[in-house]
Amino acid sequence: MMKSCGKFRNKGLFSSESGLKAVTPIIGSLLMLLILVVLAGATAIIVFNSAGESENSQPLIAKITIESCEGGLYGVGPTAERVRLEENRIVLMHEGGDSLPFDTVSVIISGHGNSFKGDVGEGGTSVEGNTEVLYKHLNPKEKNNTYVNRNSAVLEDNLWDVGEKLILCGQDSSKYINSSVKVSVNGGFNTSDNYGFKAGSEIIVKIIDVKSSNVIAQQRAIVKHAD
């Protein structure tokens, strides 16, 4: 009888071990499957996010040319050679590429020019030299009404589209306070934020994507004396 019981116990123990051996591979397979599913999901998320970031971070590309550039220093020199602020005009043409949002595109113009140190009408004096003009953005905010009137058609949808012209001039600043047009001469920013560029000299115009800090276009031109 004892021998029979021993045999029965051994048989039962043997059956349990066999069951464990059978279940273990199944559990391992399920764990591997679960790990693969998690990894696949994580990979999909990474790929999706990368694709989204890549799409959103694409730099703007456009061909911008200088159609005309006229002007001269204002308030200095022989009377016959003087020009008014509004006669300093740069006409920029969008010839191809992306539509440029005026809120996130800036323009930098540099060359030999002049402005007023201090406020015009309050004892300011003319200052001349290396001049840099920064249009922080191209929308009408914090600019003179003449800027809006000249560019009303292109500003209508807040996008600079192919075939459209944008006209900049030396009198685009808005009353010298909180202007989105900033002018420095020889590194000094205490100016009226209006400007003129010397006739016969070369200027450089850069169109910049503010979000990416990329230069969309860069053009050079010789300033023609305004008639």
- pLDDT for 148 equals 93
- pLDDT for 57 equals 65
201 DSSP 8-state letter: -
- pLDDT for 12 equals 47
Mean pLDDT by 10 residues, the chain (227 residues): 44 48 62 66 52 62 97 85 91 98 98 83 81 96 93 96 97 81 92 93 98 96 94
Nearest to 12 by CA among 4, 84, 56: 4
- pLDDT for 42 equals 57
Does residue 197 contact residue 89 with C-beta atoms inside 8 Å?
Answer: no
- pLDDT for 126 equals 85
Residue 31 φ then ψ, to 5°: -65, -45
Q: State the DSSP string of 87-110.
A: G-EEEEEEEEESPEEGGGEEEEEE
Q: How does pLDDT run across 37-67, given as a tens digit for each residue?
A: 666 665 555 544 544 444 456 889 999 999 9
Nearest to 113 by CA among 163, 166, 158, 69: 69
Three-class DSSP category at 151: coil
pTM for this model (two decimals)? 0.74
- pLDDT for 157 equals 96
Alpha helices by DSSP H, listed for 120-186, are 145-150, 152-155
Three-class DSSP category at 156: coil
